Amino acid sequence: MRLKQTWRWFGPNDPVSLQDIHQAGAQGIVTALHHVPHGEVWTVDEIQERIDLLKKNDFTWDVIESLSIHEDIKTRSGDYAKYIENYKTSLRNLAKCGMNIVTYNFMPVNDWTRTDIAYRMKDGSKALYFNWTDLAIFDIHLLKRKGAEATYPAEIVAKAAAKFAKFTSKETDELIDTVLFGIPGEERRSVDAMRKQLERYTDIDHKALKDNMAYFLQQVAPVASEVGIKLAVHPDDPPFDILGLPRIVSTHQDLLDVVSATPELSNGICFCTGSLGANPNNDLAAMVKALDTRIHFIHLRNTKRDEEGNFYEADHLGGDTDMYAVIKELLTIQQKLDTSIPFRPDHGHQMLDDMDKVTNPGYSAIGRLRGLAELRGLELGIVRSEGWE
């Protein structure tokens, strides 16, 4: 049995249409109700409306990405109990509509973070890029976080100061917009708002945040199991502490800690090769093997690192991650199951006819189409060579 090929779609305002996705060859859709504020209940009517829209266009809604976690839950403060109950209600409503995979993340304050969303590749296409010097510029000189300098190597601090001294106002604005970009379709955060959010984490270290996540899972995983939903946590992106915030879903041990937080098999992982692959200490094939059937959803993309730990998003088969080894391990797990694990080509270069279009960063059509085609071919080759088809 093969994995199921899906495609992320950000809803009716996504520049990539459902017709485009049909032409890319995807079999199902990954999406969310991005217009619903974090913490509010997803109603049956709202969920069914999205299902009906996709069905009208000959698609199924295969994975929710994401049913977001309110910051009160992550800090276990304020109205966290109310928001956990809202989360349980949303899970029950999703199950009533036939949904069975829910992705989420536990990254504090900021979601995925990059410092350049139009990094020029040698072939002229554009990629997403993360650079520690640029993040230090944002953190030390723009966000002005207390004690920020002490969290970077001295050479990065010096490089950041020298580079920032030459920054134009346009470069300043672009860096702020990029770091705070967040998820398309959701409310954008300001620098002042981020400062206030960071204050909530002053006394929350790795252990405290892990404890808060375990508490959340202990509350919601039984409900997920009861209604037949699989929970899939997305790893931290990037998989390092940033902006003084602890990251707790970044390493092999972190993922094992997640699945051991509760006994329910509903508690699982969204295995993202791009996020996890940015950490050179992660052996992705070994991680897949260890997590086994607790992997409920898969993101496939690749990254290329340099000596400082900066990285850009490479071709799907062309970065530091051995995609052959990873997909072979994933397909080995797939043979144990009677339903296909969904995967999607994660991100892609902005290229060809998409170069002059307005697209969501990482989510232009052609780059992902190329990635899906490469991944589909690699998967078929492995399946045939192993006699699994």
What residue has token string 């069914």? Answer: 48
Is 312 an active-site residue? Answer: no
Q: How far is CA 96 from CA 10, 32, 47, in A?
A: 22, 16, 10
CATH class of 4-110+204-386: alpha beta
Choosing from 299, 312, 316, 354, the catalytic residue is: 299
pLDDT cut 90: percent of the chain above it: 96
Provide the 3-class DSSP secondary structure of residue 228.
coil
Is 97 an active-site residue? Answer: no
Choosing from 237, 347, 349, 354, the catalytic residue is: 347
Q: Across the strands, what pairs with 245?
A: 242
pLDDT at 222: 98
Contacts of 295 (CB under 8 A, 6+ apart): 232, 268, 269, 270, 271, 288, 330, 333, 341
In this structure, the strands spanning 126-130 and 311-314 are: antiparallel
Q: Where are the domains of the chain?
A: 4-110+204-386, 116-193
pLDDT at 185: 65
Is 234 an active-site residue? Answer: yes
Is 347 an active-site residue? Answer: yes
Is 38 an active-site residue? Answer: no
Alpha carbon distance, N-terminus to C-terminus of the chain: 7
Residues of the chain under the 70 pLDDT cut: 185-187
The answer to whether 263 and 307 are in contact (CB under 8 A) is: no
- Rounded to the nearest 10°, the torsion over CA 34, 35, 37, 39 is -50
Is 141 an active-site residue? Answer: no
Evaluate if pTM is beyond 0.85.
yes
The answer to whether 129 and 310 are in contact (CB under 8 A) is: yes
Choosing from 87, 129, 272, 315, the catalytic residue is: 272
Instruction: Give dist(CA 21, CA 29) in Å, integer.
Output: 9
pLDDT at 324: 98
Choosing from 70, 234, 296, 316, the catalytic residue is: 234
pLDDT at 11: 96
Peptide bond into 66 cis (omega under 30): yes
